[in-house]
Amino acid sequence: MTALRRTQAVVLSVALAVVAPAVPAAAAGPAGWDHPGFDAEDSYYNPGENAVNATTIAKLSQRWSVALRKHEGSCGGFGAPVIAGGRVVTTDQLGISAFQALTGAPAWHFNWVDPGDSDTAVLAASGNTMIATNGDCNSNSDPDGTLVALDLATGKRRWWVDSDMPIYTVVVDKGMIVVSGESPSDAQAVVAYRVSDGKQAWKRVDYEGSSVCADGRVLVNKGTTTSALSITTGALLWTKPGYWQAKAATPAADRFLVTNGAAMSAINAANGAVMWTAPNKASDLLATDGRRIYRVDDHTVEALDVNSGRSLWSRGLPSEGGQPVRAGGLLYTGGPVLSPTSGAIVAQAKVLTGRPVITGGRLYTVNDGMLSNLAP
């Protein structure tokens, strides 16, 4: 499981009807999107979706929509939702809100003690526990962080941890939460906590973390080296020269997709061997389905072969692209909805803002403080 602070406001362009029917559509199969990047690998790929596809994307209509809570003076905002346990959970300007996935009925709310000093939380579900991490907004010299665990069904707080260091990266996987950060008053460190009780399990000082995990391997940096740590024990699994930042991992968890600021490379997750390097292909906005890597760079989306890094196709976008998302045989780009195999445009019409979450035959999006559920 992963969560990370990627840009969450992008543009989705699809043909949509926006008049809500009187009753919600029939329930789809089990739905889940329990991390911002869908899975522990941050792949942004949902292989189980099949209802929202090329033949139904233009038939989507709004099933329900709810206004998220607003608060004047809040420094937090509205994030993309997480779907788990029949709940749709998202951040708002007071804290966190959960809704029934089928109807949009409120399930629970959680408030920060001081919304004016609490930034937008990163959310991830681990079993029946919702993990939220955030930080304060009003200190540049000594910012702090917060980790809180909530009961997914009720929103009841299970535990709370105050972190002396700010939290910049978050990984949730295998019953562990791994965060990292630094400030003028706090040494750089990677710290792990147990989901069950919030107790610290291990700590690595002078390491910089990432928000990507590949089957229990967390990629970290120290100086000019890159290493993999065991998420459960913090043990050093391998170290290689070079500074590579993890942006995603393949759904099979067999390789990390990393950048050094200019090039993109695929690194063997088991031993750190560099499998290939693609010059000038660095991007913070990646998705992968295990066959292709989708990268967005400004007004362009490109697909690379996952085994070689070779460019397969490229398409210009009418506006700056956002986080690519793969689900139901479609590629969402923050602009037109494309075919992942060819880059051909599948749907393009009315504009919605918000990174889409597609699961269980539904498309969820947050648009200017409105959480919406759409289905064919």
Do the Cβ atoms of 263 and 280 come closer than 8 Å? yes
pLDDT, mean of residues 346-361:
76
> Closest by alpha carbon to 210, among 199, 219, 201?
219
195-227 burial code (b ≥16 CB/10 A, e <16):
beebeebbebeebbbbbbbbebbbbbbbeeebb
CATH class of 2-375: mainly beta
pLDDT in tens, 10-29: 333 344 433 333 334 444 54
What pLDDT score does 144 carry? 87
CB neighbour list of residue 26: distance below 8 Å, 6 or more residues apart: none
User: Does pLDDT of 290 surpass 80?
Assistant: yes
The residue count of the chain comes to: 376
pLDDT in tens, 124-148: 999 999 999 998 888 777 788 899 9
Do the Cβ atoms of 195 and 149 come closer than 8 Å? yes
What pLDDT score does 186 carry? 87
Query: How does the average pLDDT of the chain come out, rounded?
Result: 89
Alpha-carbon distance of 168 to 166, in angstroms, equals: 6
Helix (H, G, I), strand (E, B) or coil at 115: helix
CA angle (104 as vertex; 32, 99 as ends), nearest 5: 60
Higher-pLDDT residue of 183 and 233 is 233
| Phi, psi dihedrals of residue 238, rounded to the nearest 5° | -165, 160
Question: 331 pLDDT band (50/70/90 cuts)?
Answer: very high
User: Does pLDDT of 301 surpass 70?
Assistant: yes
Question: 355 pLDDT band (50/70/90 cuts)?
Answer: confident
| Residue 341, CA distances (Å) to 11, 132, 292, 316, 345 in order | 22, 36, 8, 16, 11
pLDDT in tens, 147-200: 999 999 999 999 999 998 999 999 999 999 999 999 888 899 999 999 999 999
What pLDDT score does 291 carry? 97
What global pTM score does this model have? 0.91
What pLDDT score does 28 carry? 52
Higher-pLDDT residue of 336 and 149 is 149
Alpha-carbon distance of 239 to 217, in angstroms, equals: 12
Do the Cβ atoms of 65 and 309 come closer than 8 Å? no
Pairing of strands 300-305, 11-13: unpaired
